[in-house]
Chain A
Amino acid sequence: MDDSRIVALFLARDEAAITHTDRKYGPYCRTISFNILEDRHDAEECTNDTYLQAWNTIPPQRPHSLQAYLGRIVRNLSLNKRRAKQAQKRGGEGYAAAYEELEQMVSSPSSVEESVDELVLRDLIERFLDEQTEQNRRIFIARYWYFESVRSIASKLGISQSLVKTTLLRMRNALREHLEREGVSV
């Protein structure tokens, strides 16, 4: 079913909206959530919560892209859940590994407590991504937006794992330089 029709069902408070959302975007949401939580049951729960949040927020929201809207919700919910469980063991190839990579990137002792305006940071990241090749951009998004494992990214993009790792390392370094050049201490 077309997204606009699904959104129309939400707006009409028709519960079939949830059915159609799950049919169309259930795998997408579960994948994002599983990449972060690395637990199928938690991922299922977050996916259900995503539908509920979509139900509670549409209306008044009228997302232009339902997929992007659901993706953001499930990512945020999953991150919150993951952070709540942060005290538990670390490990895995998805979120935990991606988080540690970013943590190392911003591990400058002088900037630990420094707060940065998220909007400013977002704009800087977008400009940084605009300067990248399409493949590099996709690798970066796959890793740090969707929290895909290196292995999974390599498989889906048809490239080697070592190329993915090398690209990510170079991009993190380049992003650090880009942010510092723009006055953000990392």
Chain B
Amino acid sequence: MNADQLLNAIGSIDDRYMLAYAKEAAAPAKTSVKPFVRWAAAVCAATVAVAAAFVILPTIKQHSNNAIVSDGVPTESTTPFAGVPVTPTTDTQEGLQNDVGTTTSSDAITDEPTQPSGDRILLNSVGDFLSSGARLVNPIEVSENDFYAEYPLNLTAYLDDTAYEVTYLLQYHLLDLNTGTTDFSHLSNGWISISRDNQVLFSVYVATDRYVSDLDYTQTTETNNSVIGGCDVLLFEGLLRGQTPCLYGKFRLNGLYVTVDTTRGTQEETVALIQSLVQNTH
């Protein structure tokens, strides 16, 4: 008998043995990261979450409120994160980002109301951010390999009077193994799916193969892609936009490039995406 045989035999034991430890196995290890890094990660998570409340939500709101229109059909009012009411806004993205630059998180916590007020959404804590529907997975505990955040972004777009739900699920690994630091700019994976009448028409999974911090949005990173579903998506060029969760890329479907940008996708881009995906998959 050799070690491989023994390992294989252990691997084939009944489910009940392995499942007895499954919960712990899925949990992040606590001791693999120094306390300072853990503390820094918690601070980073809290800071970014609060910042996200000021940048991401208004950005998405602006995106969803932008008239994604085809054939004169305006969008319905959408709620980017479940449970968070969206009120019309006239703020520009730049204006909101400037707001972030001049407003500290403590200001937000102490001075701003929790409920939507006026023309923008205000979330004043990580808890509010999480309860809004955005999910930070394991926001405090840091491990070497399993600390990441997910941001679901939902849009409704219309094409030929038909409503399509466009969902982006962005997953971020927050810990850079190379440096041991936390960094929210590490877009790890992305899901894009197109649904109609609650039926998924198309779903593509994108896995980046590089983790580049502080990448300027004018640079491109060629990445691998992983496609499930048999669609002919051959190429993804990803861009990371600083600290703002986003997904930007060009997908090639049967020779046709489709651009996706979750932070500033235009109506033409969104409609082109849906057209291409639907036409190429059905």
Contacts and interface: CB of A to CB of B under 8 A. Distances in A.
A26 to B, nearest CB: 8
Interface in A151-181: 151-152, 154-157, 179
Interface residues of A, number: 70
B194 to A, nearest CB: 11
Contact of A118 (B12, B150, B203): B12
A116 B6 CA distance: 9
Question: B interface, by DSSP: helix, strand, loop or mixed?
Answer: mixed
A48 to B, nearest CB: 5
A129 B13 contact: yes
Interface residues of B, number: 54
Contacts of A27: 26, 28, 137-138, 146, 148
Nearest to B150: A23
A156 B29 contact: yes
B169 interface: yes
A30 B145 contact: yes
Contact of B14 (A18, A79, A126): A126
Contacts of B203: 15-16, 18-19
Interface in B183-201: 188-189, 191, 193, 200
B170 to A, nearest CB: 12
B162 interface: no
Interface of A: 14-16, 18-19, 22-23, 25-28, 30-32, 34, 40-41, 43-45, 48, 51-52, 55, 64-65, 67-68, 71-72, 75-76, 79, 83, 99, 102-103, 105-106, 111-112, 114-116, 118, 121-122, 125-126, 129, 134, 137-138, 141-142, 144-146, 148-149, 151-152, 154-157, 179, 184-186
25 contacts: A15-B193, A19-B169, A22-B191, A22-B205, A25-B26, A27-B26, A27-B146, A43-B145, A44-B188, A48-B207, A64-B15, A68-B18, A72-B11, A76-B11, A99-B3, A102-B3, A103-B2, A103-B3, A116-B5, A118-B9, A122-B12, A126-B17, A145-B11, A146-B21, A154-B31
